Structure 1
Amino acid sequence: MSRADYYILPDSDADSRAAFLCRLCDKILGLGLRVFISTEHESAARQLDQQLWSARPESFVPHVLLGQSPDSPIEIGWDDQLPDHRQVFVNLSGRLPDAAFGFERVVEIVVQTPEVLANLRQNYALCREHGFEIHNHDMRPRG
C-alpha cells in the first residue's frame, strides 16, 4: 500500500522547510530509496538546489536538477517533470499533481502559512481518496 507522510513543522518560513527537507533526505537515502522533489517552477527548483548545497555544512546531500548529469538519488524538478523512478515524491509545489499518486510514498512538509496549510488540506483529502496509508508526524513542541 502506498503511504503519505505529513511532517508538521512549528515554523512558517521557507528556510525551515528546506533545512528539514535536507535532514529528511538524509534519512530517506539511508533507507536506500530515491527521492524526487517537485517544485512549482524552475526558479524555485534552482533556489532549492542552492539551499541543499549549503543547508548542512557537516553533511552532503547528493542531488541534481532533473535531467542533469551525473545521476543522483535525489532529483529536483518543476511543473509536470517526473523522474524515471516511482519511489518517494516530495511535494513542494502546493497542489499535489495526479502523477504523485503513482509513487510508493508521498511526502509533504507542512509549515504554518495559510497558503501551505490550505493546499495541504486538499492534498491530504486526495491522498485519502486514493487509498494512501496516511502518517502524521507532528514536530511542534508539546505545550
Structure 2
Amino acid sequence: MARADFYLIAKPRFREEPLRLVCELVKRAYEKGLPTLVLARDAAQAEQLDDLLWSFEPDAFIPHQIAGLDMDEDEADVLIAAPDADVPLRPIVVNLRDGAVEGTFERVLEVVPADESARGPLRERWKQYQARGIDLNKHDM
C-alpha cells in the first residue's frame, strides 16, 4: 500500500535551510537502497539541492543528478527533476511542488514549511492523498 509522509519543519537548522531536511530524507532512502526522485519546484531549486547534496555532510556521498542532463538517469540513485523534465516516478518521491503527486509510488515525502501561513496547500494535499486511500503519517522534524 502506498503511503505519504508529511515532515513538519520545526528544528532551527531546517527552518533556516529547508532543503537540508530534503538532504536528510534523501540520505535515508539512499542508505536503504531505494531509488528516489525529487520533484523540485523549479530549475533553480533543483540546482540548489544538487549543490547541497554534494556538501551537506562531509562524509556522505549520495550519487545524484539533475534530470535532463546527458548522463544516464537510470544510473543515479537520486534523480532531481525540475518541472519541465519528463521522468517516470520512482518508489520514493520527495515532493517540493505545489500539487499532490499523481501516479504510482511506494512512498511520497512531503516537506511542510515551518511558517503556519504556508501550510494550507499541504492540508489540501493531505486530504487528496487520503481520498486516494493512501496511508498517511506525520513527523515533526
SS in 2 for 1:121: helix
- 121-130 or 48-57, which moves further after superposition? 48-57
Task: Give the counterpart of 2:100 among 90, 96, 105.
Answer: 96
Post-superposition offset of 1:111: 2.2
Identity of aligned residues (%): 29
Post-superposition offset of 1:114: 4.3
* Distance of aligned partners of 1:36 and 1:135 in 2 relative to their CA distance in 1, 3 Å threshold: same
What residue number does 2:107 align with? Answer: 105
Q: How many aligned positions are there?
A: 136
TM-score by length of 1: 0.83
Q: Is the 8 A contact 1:41 1:79 kept in 2?
A: yes
Give CA-to-partner distance per residue, 1:77-99, whole Å, 9 cap, x none: 1215343453111111122243x
What residue number does 2:37 align with? Answer: 36
* 1:118 counterpart = 2:120: yes
1:129-140 residue pairs with structure 2 within 5 A? Answer: 129-139=131-141
Unaligned ranges ≥5, structure 2: none
Q: Is the 8 A contact 2:101 2:108 kept in 1?
A: no
What residue number does 2:46 align with? Answer: 45
SS in 1 for 2:138: strand
- 101-110 or 112-121, which moves further after superposition? 112-121
What residue number does 1:2 align with? Answer: 2
Post-superposition offset of 1:63: 0.7
CA–CA distance in structure 1, aligned partners of residues 63 and 117 of structure 2: 29
SS in 1 for 2:125: helix
CA–CA distance in structure 2, aligned partners of residues 55 and 123 of structure 1: 29
Q: Is the 8 A contact 1:7 1:136 kept in 2?
A: yes
